[in-house]
């Protein structure tokens, strides 16, 4: 059986741990990174099938990190989280071919539901 490996990138450690545990309970393997450099290293060494990326991080924003990722990997599915959804953020993310844009401020139930739906769609259509 194929490993359902996900790279989860977020600088908010509490959120990262919470989402990691939830995703793992759905049967996925989750690798985490808390900054852009660690994320790029993990991408090279772990071969994830999906990236879940925070939009706002202190060392590099999610859009800039995604631009770096897209230089070497144009097809990997990406889901983006943000605590401050704006039209500009959504437009920038859409230009970089993300699968879903999920606001963190929605209730945790909604966030989990949206994330689960996006992951199921990605892994059903490799």
pLDDT tens for each residue of 13-65: 998 998 899 899 988 999 999 999 999 999 999 999 999 999 888 888 888 99
Domain count along the chain: 1
d(CA 51, CA 78): 5
- Predicted structure pTM score: 0.86
**Residue 72 domain boundaries:** 5-124
- The CATH number of whichever domain residue 13 belongs to comes to 3.40.50.2300
């Amino acid at each position: 059986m194929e490993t359902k490996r996900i790279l989860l990138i977020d600088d908010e450690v509490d959120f990262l741990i919470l989402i990691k545990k939830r995703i793992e309970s759905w049967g996925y393997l989750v690798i985490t990174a808390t900054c852009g450099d660690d994320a790029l290293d993990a991408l090279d060494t772990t071969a994830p099938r999906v990236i879940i990326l925070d939009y706002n991080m202190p060392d590099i924003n999610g859009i800039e990190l995604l631009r770096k990722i897209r230089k070497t990997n144009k097809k990997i599915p990406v889901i983006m989280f943000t605590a401050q959804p704006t039209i500009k953020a959504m437009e920038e993310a859409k230009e970089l071919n993300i699968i879903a844009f999920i606001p963190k401020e929605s209730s945790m139930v909604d966030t989990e539901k949206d994330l689960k739906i996006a992951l199921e769609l990605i892994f059903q259509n490799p």
